Structure 1
Amino acid sequence: MRVVEVTTYGGPEVLDMVRRPEPVAGERPGRVRVRLHAAGVTITDLRIRAGLYADELSPLKPPFVLGADFAGVLMDPTAGPEGTLPAGARVAGFVPWYTERSGEGTYAEVVQVEPGWFAPIPADIGFTQAASVPLASVTAHQGLERLGLPAGKTLLVTGASGVVGRFAVQFAAAAGLEVTAVAYEGDESELKVLGAKHCVRRGEVADVLAALREIAPDGFDGCFDGALVGEAILPAVTNAGVFVSLADDRTPVPVRDIRVETVLGKPDARLLATILKKVEDRELITRVADVMPLEEVSEAHRRAEEGHRPGRIILMI
């Protein structure tokens, strides 16, 4: 089967397509095979490829296969969130790559995954759309849970134009929070439809902080840092507020009694099944930036790093 390996740490050019033996049924006890149709490119993929987590991942070293999000067809029957899933069922989910640290990701034609990592894809969702949902939506939902803010409180969401941030805005608004979104110019109207009360244009941190003070002079009750701004955006949080980061190396040191949390999305098949149903019913909206063949994975990484268009870049397999 075809896989894309990180041959050494570096830029997009270190990604190389090679062939590996296709896994057979029962090769890894407790896991089932999925033949992939689509995989997502995440910011974590970019950071791992660049070597930003090399020390944390040790002794795992290149060559390894990146990729968390996936959508495809189940090759082996297994238990699902709501009963048995037969071979041939369409499923979507994500590999907890950073915590699993096996180097076996979804830039591949076939993956071996645990049943708790995926959920069935509803009939009206295609593979491309489904592959943009799992990691982003589950991370956003779990991040909002970790914030623990009751209805009526104020929440700042950075990176609101991105897939994770968009889900965070929608979940927060549904929970009754007053959301302020930091986003790319041109996304303001859409984000307000999704539930943001205020929008601030992404830019230099000093300019963003000045605009945020106009909205919340005393600071926001919480911040969901989807853009990985880190310590620089902490002044926007009120004393004794709460701050959620999505990366260990971008988690600030607590000050002013602010509670600081790091959230790495953990697979939850039942939660994902509920979210996918809401996407099908258009109660939740996801965003796909580009769809590219697996052979163009290096270009996909370049586009993701340059921020051509916010949203998930999907690799078709």
Structure 2
Amino acid sequence: MRVVEVTAYGGPEVLRMARRPEPEAGERPGMVRVRLKAAGVNQADLRIRAGRYADVVGPLKPPFVLGTDFAGKLIDPVPGLPAGTRVAGFVPWFEELNGEGTYAEVIWSAPEWLAPIPDDVDYTVAASVPLAAATAQRGLDELALPQGATLLVSGASGVVGRFAVQFAAAAGLRVVAIAHEGDQHELKVLGAEHSVLRGPHDEIIARVAEAVPERVDAVFDGAFHGAPLLPAVKDDGAFVALVPDRAPAAERNIRVVTVLGRPDAARLKETLEKVAARELITRVSDVMPLEEVAEAHRRAEAGHRPGRIVLMI
């Protein structure tokens, strides 16, 4: 089967198409095979490839396969999901740490990672959802803010931040979204009470202060700003970071926590059903063939077009 391997740490040029044996039934007790149709390109993929997490992954060395989000068809049945069922999920790459990601034609999955894809959701849309939604939900769980609290969401134009805006608004929070130009109206429709343009950090802080003079109760840092957003937070507030190297040092008794999404099949099933019903909106920025993975990484790193880049397999 075709896979994309990271041949060494470095830029997108280190990604290479390769062939590996296709998994065979029964090789891994408790795991099932999924034939993929689409895989998402996440920021974690870019950072792993660049070697920024070399210490975290420890003994795992290139060549290995990146990728967490996936959508495809079950090869092996699981209770409630017969073979051939369209499924989505994500591989907890850092927990498994075996270098077997979703930039591949066939993957192994634990049944508890899998949720059925509704008929009205295509593979590319489904592949944009699992990790982003789980990360947003986990961040809000950690914050545990009461209704009426104010939450600043950075990266609100991207898929993780977009889910955070929608989940937070549904939970009764007052959301201030940091957005790309042109997205302000849409984010207000999705639940943001205020929307401010991204830009230099001092300008962002000033714009947030105009919207919320008393400062916000918490930050969900979907765009990895880190410490420069702390002035927007009240004393005794909270800050959710998505990557450890962008988690700021705590000050003014602000609680700082770094979150990582965890597979939750029941929650993912509910989220995909809401996507099908247009009660939740995701964003796919580009759809590209697996063979163009290096270009997909270049586009993701450029960051000019917010949303999830999806590889068709």
TM range (shorter): over 0.9
Cα deviation per residue 1:79-126 (whole Å; 9 max; x = unaligned)?
A: 3xxxx2111000000001122211100000000010111100011111
Distance 1:36 1:44 in 2: 20
Tell me the distance in 1 between the aligned counterparts of 2:66 and 2:171. Answer: 34
Q: C-alpha displacement at 1:198, in angstroms? A: 0.7
Could you list the runs of 4 or more consecutive aligned residues of structure 1 that deviate by over 4 angstroms after TM superposition? none
Alignment pair present for 1:12 and 2:8: no
1:130 equivalenced with 2:148 (yes/no): no
**Cα distance in structure 2, aligned partners of 1:255 and 1:102:** 37
Q: What is aligned with 1:46? A: 46
Q: Which residue of 2 aligns with 1:264?
A: 260
Residue 76 of structure 2 aligns with which residue?
Answer: 76
Residues 151-300 of structure 1 correspond to what in structure 2 (within 5 A)? 151-300=147-296
What are the Cα deviations for residues 238-297 of structure 1, in whole angstroms up to 9, with x where unaligned? 000111111111111111111111110000000000101110111000000000000000
**One-letter amino acid of the structure 2 residue matched with residue 18 of structure 1:** A
Tell me the amino acid that sits aligned with residue 134 of structure 1: P
CA shift, 1:34, in A, is 0.1
Amino acid of the residue matched to residue 306 of structure 2?
P
> What residue in structure 1 maps to residue 60 of structure 2?
60
Letter in 2 for 1:19: R
Taking the TM superposition and a 5 Å limit, the aligned residue runs for 1:112-123 are 112-123=108-119
SS of equivalent residue, structure 1 residue 130: helix
Match of 2:107 among 105, 111, 116: 111
* Amino acid of the structure 2 residue aligned with 1:227: A
One-letter amino acid matched to 1:285:
I
Quick one: which amino acid aligns to residue 168 of structure 1? A
State the distance in 1 between where 2:235 and 2:110 align. Answer: 42
Q: In 2, distance between residues paired with 1:116 and 1:255?
A: 38
Deviation at 1:223, TM superposition (A): 0.6
Partner of 2:301: 305
Q: Residue 135 of structure 2 aligns to which amino acid in structure 1? A: T
**What's the CA shift for 1:204?**
0.9
Q: In the TM superposition, what is the alpha-carbon distance from 1:218 to its structure 2 partner? A: 2.6
Normalised by the size of structure 1, how large is the TM-score? 0.97
Matched residue SS, 2:135: helix
Q: Give SS of 1:304's match.
A: helix
The one-letter amino acid paired with 1:113 is: S
Identity among equivalent positions (%) equals 68
C-alpha displacement at 1:53, in angstroms? 0.3
Alpha-carbon distance in structure 1 between the residues aligned to 2:213 and 2:192: 18
- Stretches of structure 1 that go unaligned for 5 or more consecutive residues are none
Q: CA deviation at 1:217?
A: 2.3
Deviation at 1:234, TM superposition (A): 1.1
In structure 1, distance between residues paired with 2:310 and 2:95: 22
Q: What SS does the aligned partner of 2:151 have? A: strand
**What is the identity, as a one-letter code, of the residue corresponding to 2:139?**
G
**Paired residues, number:** 313
Which stretch of the first structure deviates more once superposed, 288-297 or 305-314?
305-314
1:37 is matched with 37
Q: Deviations over 1:129-178 (max 9, x none)?
A: 10001000111011111110011110000000110000000000111111
Higher mean Cα deviation, 292-301 or 218-227? 218-227
Report the TM-score, using the length of structure 2 for normalisation: 0.99
Whole-Å Cα distance in 1 between the matches of residues 46 and 278 of structure 2?
Answer: 30
The one-letter code of the counterpart of 1:70 is F
